Amino acid sequence: MAPVVWSHVGRILWLACLLPLAPARVAAGMYELNLTTDGPASTGAEVTISASLVAKDNGSLALPTDAHLYRFHWIHTPLVLTGKMESDLSSTIRVVGNVPGEFPVSVWVTAADCWMCHPVARNFVVLPITEFLVGNIVVAQNTSLPWPSSYLTKTVLKVSFLLHDPSNFFKTASFLYSWDFGDGTQMVTEDSVVYYNYSIIGTFTVKLKVVAEWEQAKPDATNGIVQKTGDFSASLKLQETLRGIQVLGPTIIQTFQKMTVTLNFLGSPPLTMCWRLKPECLPLEEGECHPVSVASTAYNLTHTFRDPGDYCFSIRAENVISKTHQYHRIQVWPSSIQPAVFAFPCATLITVMLAFIMYMTLRNATQQKDMVENPEPPSGVRCCCQMCCGPFLLETPSEYLEIVRENNGLLPPLYKSVKTYTV
């Protein structure tokens, strides 16, 4: 009888032990923990970590009405616990890190009466602790651009440093800010907000060094100066609005001639450009031409006209800031002589001109040679030569007769032969 009684008692005790486990086993996998933290933080600063038990989003599970059914368990070593607070289905702890590093903090939830049971939900977070200041640079401008970190030149920028100090650890500290704007300008201020105006386009890196100092009590009951520093940077892309397009090219051209037009964009690249020939100068509509990406401020257009007439280049360009249109009129005249027609006459004319030039060159050279080889003697010598040596040097009888006629006088002789007549 006794063994049977003890057997029933054992079963009752076993069922009694299972009762606390039943809710947890049923709830396992139906809830999750959401963790939030205000870290990272500097060494010595207090960090807050919160955990909330929520139901998974299946549309049918509701949280229990009694919040005391569950217990939160934390592991935060080597971080020092400075405070803990629990409320309905949530728990919050405050910890301090005295050495730099990345420290995991884990938490899990079990049934309130059975902390050794299977967890209902668990999660963890890695908390960064650094020996430097924590913060970031914020840049603001009145004009908003669609690209991140893009701003307009010649417009005032507001550059601010935001210190991350949720626990007011640096409330008694004094700060010094050293700014470097990346274009050769540097300044030192005691204010965390400065205003600056970039005059040129480009990508610049703003560098900031922050120094914080405050008094802190030492173990020997004396006050000492404690200092923390931090280096921060932010990249800025300064751009200009697209003020216009300068078109350089001819305004009159003939058919079948290749024409080149240069476009100079007065704005910041990269740009998107498209163009089209129209009978009139009208703006281009969306989808009317194929866009082309331009990585510089200049672009060359080439086109060959086959039909005469009046045309207009309609050009549209835009960058991330603005867009603009430009037009360029051009008159195309028909070619009076086609290349195949005037090619042969031109070749003939060039050949004749070259032959004439060669003929005149050879003729001049021959005349100069004759003058050098046969110089004309003086008149006295020529006369003597004609009278004495003429008959021997003459080459033709006609030439001889010519000389004889020149030597005879024009008057009749002084005496005249008398003819005798017999009667």
Number of residues assigned to the chain: 423
How confident is the model over 251-287, as pLDDT tens digits? 999 998 888 999 998 877 778 899 998 888 888 888 8
Q: What is the pTM of this model?
A: 0.59
Q: Do residues 198 and 182 touch, judged by C-beta distance below 8 A?
A: no
Mean pLDDT for the chain? 78
Structural domains of the chain ordered from first start: 28-130 (2.60.40.10), 135-239 (2.60.40.10), 244-333 (2.60.40.730)
How confident is the model over 104-136, as pLDDT tens digits? 999 999 888 776 778 889 999 999 999 999 999
Nearest alpha carbon to residue 251 among 202, 313, 306, 174: 313
If residue 210 lies in a helix (H) or strand (E), which one and from where to where? Answer: strand 202-217
Q: What is the DSSP letter of 402?
A: H
More confident site: 366 or 27 = 366
How confident is the model over 386-405, as pLDDT tens digits? 444 444 444 444 444 444 44
**pLDDT-based confidence at residue 185 (cuts at 50, 70, 90):** very high
More confident site: 16 or 174 = 174
What is residue 120's predicted lDDT score, i.e. its pLDDT?
Answer: 86
**CA–CA distance, 271 with 320 (Å, rounded to integer):** 8
